[in-house]
Amino acid sequence: MVGNMTTIVDGRALANTLMAELQKTVTALAQQGVIPQLRIVQVGDDPASNIYIRNKLRRAEKLGIDAQVVHLSATISQADFMHVLARLNADPTVDAYMVQEPLPPQIDQSAVVAAIDPQKDADGFTPVNFGHLWQGDPGPVPATPAGIMAILDRYEVPIQGKRAVVIGRSKIVGRPLAAMLLNRDATVTMAHSKTVNLPAVTREADILIAAVGVPHFVTADMVKTGAVVIDVGINRTAEGKVTGDVDFAAVAPKTALITPVPRGVGPMTVAMLMQQTVNLAKERVGHE
């Protein structure tokens, strides 16, 4: 049971709405002879990555984006990997590409991200684009936090002046999301594994974002009544199901709005990647 006043976000429906809007741009580009070109670099065969990549390919095909996987061996060397990235950077037919994470241990992830051409950075992970984001002048931005901001906006959650607490400081979610919230004039706290008295910190939040990677980490006592709670967790149970970082059943009745897992933030990640690919393709055409 969820409290009367709780809104449960439907991330899949919202992603569909945004994609229907994006479809108009893709159709207009196609009329100019432009098909956005996305490449997804996959190293090895991580089962979860296979699912996410399949979702991305499906979504791209439906929209009319040409998305192709560059599949590399799990044992590829750093040097060979860098050659693949150099080829993608130099290929004028590629608008945007991303390197699916996680990467195998022999690969230096920071070096990989730094080697991506910032103008083809579908994920918004490069240091250059990260810098732009933190300067309040964003270019391409990471898809998951962009999806969270889209949820907040489409569900008309006020951000300016609100206290936002982000639990988790990853490069994919926590750090860029903190910058995005700050750019929208929230008062942002970044909490993490070394934060002292975390429940006292999270109880201050008007907007609480859990990006920890621990199932049911956020319990009801950590949440202020009437808060907005965004669950970024994708944790696999022993039964192969997906569960979030928030104890949904206990927390939801206290909230004004909450995202479920699955069908909350996850589908928005794929939608935002599509949006970013189209933006980068548009920029290329504009620059021609």
Ligand X SMILES: Nc1nc2c(c(=O)[nH]1)N[C@@H](CN(C=O)c1ccc(C(=O)N[C@@H](CCC(=O)O)C(=O)O)cc1)CN2
- Are 6 and 252 in contact, with CB atoms under 8 Å apart? yes
Q: Which of 94, 143, 181, 278 binds ligand X (CB under 6 A)?
A: 143
For residue 154, give the nearest of 213, 251, 255, 230 by alpha carbon. Answer: 230
**Pattern 94-123, ligand X, x by CB under 6 A:** ----xxxx---------------------x
Q: Output the smallest distance, CB 28 to ligand X, in A.
A: 26
Helices and strands (H and E) in the chain: how many:
10, 11
99: helix, strand or coil: strand
Query: How is residue 112 written in tokens?
Result: 């990989």
Q: Output the smallest distance, CB 260 to ligand X, in A.
A: 8
Residue with smaller CB distance to ligand X, 118 or 266: 266
Q: Which amino acid appears at position 155 of this protein?
A: Y
Give the CB-nearest residue to ligand X: 266
230 is in an annotated binding site: no
* Cis before 102? omega within 30: yes
Residue with smaller CB distance to ligand X, 162 or 259: 259
Residue with smaller CB distance to ligand X, 126 or 144: 144
Residue with smaller CB distance to ligand X, 269 or 275: 269
Three-state SS for 120-189 is HECCCCCHHHHHHHHCCCCCCCCHHHHHHHHHHHHCCCCCCCCEEEEECCCCCCHHHHHHHHHHCCCEEE
Q: Using CB under 6 A as the criterion, which residues of the chain lie in contact with ligand X when the complex forms?
A: 51-52, 55, 98-101, 123, 143-144, 172, 234, 242, 261-263, 266-267, 269-270
Active site residue ranges: 56, 100, 123
Binding residues for NADP(+), as ranges, are 168-170, 234
